[in-house]
């Protein structure tokens, strides 16, 4: 079944042609290869897997999981490609900041049991890549999962910067926390902070706590 519905990539090298460009022929070939490896191939795998899942709802559980795993693997490959592309474009003019020591993560997660609040402190951090985002959120997931319950979650974004290449991972990991562990999620920053404007970002920690109190009152009422 899987073999019948897979795309045959035999002869791909023979039919692929280098796209003309301004770079030297060797550089153009290297660029084309990178584009194919990091973007074209995984996008093809993702699209193929999703179309099969859409068109064949009768698939067995093992086959469904295999196609889902293929799509997720494609997403990971694209993520690595974005990291490589960003490193090539930005590194010379804007090198990555020093890595955050793992020992610092524990001080950025606070449990306020009396208020049922789980607080994540991202203040003054530069999230420069998906790898940095994953390291931080792996720690967050571990701490919150160990409690065995859901919390009201607040996130301190004061002076936090998320580089473009880290946004996909950041949005994905943040959404997982909200779905899996949160009774509700509120983020706050301060006026003038260097982050995209959003109606969902509150102007202070006090405003976030007030929003939680209002949500709790509605639930209790």
pLDDT at position 219: 83
pLDDT at position 37: 81
Q: How confident is the model at residue 2 (pLDDT cuts 50, 70, 90)?
A: very low
Instruction: Identify the residue with better confidence: 208 or 106.
Output: 208
Task: Tell me the Ramachandran region of residue 120: left when phi exceeds 0, alpha when psi lies from -120 to 50, beta otherwise.
Answer: beta
Between CA 126 and CA 133, with CA 130 as vertex, the angle to 5 degrees is 55
pLDDT at position 78: 87
Long-range contacts formed by 106-110: CB under 8 A, 24+ apart: 106/139, 106/143, 108/136, 109/139, 109/140, 109/143, 109/144
- pLDDT beyond 60 at 35: yes
107-118 average pLDDT score: 94
pLDDT, mean over the chain: 81
Give percent of the chain above pLDDT 90.
48
The token pair that represents 138 in the structure block: 């792996």
- pLDDT beyond 60 at 3: no
Q: How confident is the model at residue 7 (pLDDT cuts 50, 70, 90)?
A: very low
pLDDT at position 200: 77
pLDDT at position 166: 87
pLDDT in tens, 159-213: 998 888 888 889 999 999 999 999 999 999 976 555 544 557 899 999 999 999 9
Ordered by where they begin, the domains of the chain are: 2-90 (no CATH), 102-220 (3.30.750)
As a whole number of angstroms, the distance between CA 73 and CA 77 comes to 6
Give percent of the chain above pLDDT 70.
76
Between CA 88 and CA 97, with CA 92 as vertex, the angle to 5 degrees is 95
- pLDDT beyond 50 at 11: no
**Model's pTM, two decimal places?**
0.68
pLDDT at position 83: 78
């Amino acid at each position: 079944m899987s073999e019948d519905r897979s795309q045959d990539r035999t002869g791909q090298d023979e039919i692929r042609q280098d796209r003309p460009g301004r770079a030297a022929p060797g550089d153009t070939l290297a660029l084309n290869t990178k584009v194919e490896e990091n973007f074209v191939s995984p996008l093809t795998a993702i699209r193929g897997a999703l179309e099969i899942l859409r068109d064949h709802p009768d698939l067995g559980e093992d086959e469904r999981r295999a196609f889902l795993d293929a799509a997720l693997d494609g997403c990971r490959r694209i993520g690595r490609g974005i990291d490589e592309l960003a490193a090539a474009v930005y590194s010379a003019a804007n090198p990555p900041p020093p890595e955050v020591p793992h020992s610092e993560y524990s001080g950025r997660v606070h449990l306020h049991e009396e208020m049922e609040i789980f607080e994540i402190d991202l203040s003054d951090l530069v999230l420069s890549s998906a790898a940095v985002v994953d390291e931080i959120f792996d720690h967050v997931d571990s701490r919150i999962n160990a409690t065995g319950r859901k919390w009201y979650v607040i996130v301190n974004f004061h002076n936090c910067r998320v580089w473009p290449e880290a946004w996909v991972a950041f949005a994905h990991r943040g959404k997982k926390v909200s779905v899996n562990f949160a009774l509700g999620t509120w983020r706050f920053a301060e006026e003038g902070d260097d982050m995209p404007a959003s109606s969902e970002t509150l102007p202070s920690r006090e405003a976030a706590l007030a929003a939680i109190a209002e949500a709790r009152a509605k639930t209790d009422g």
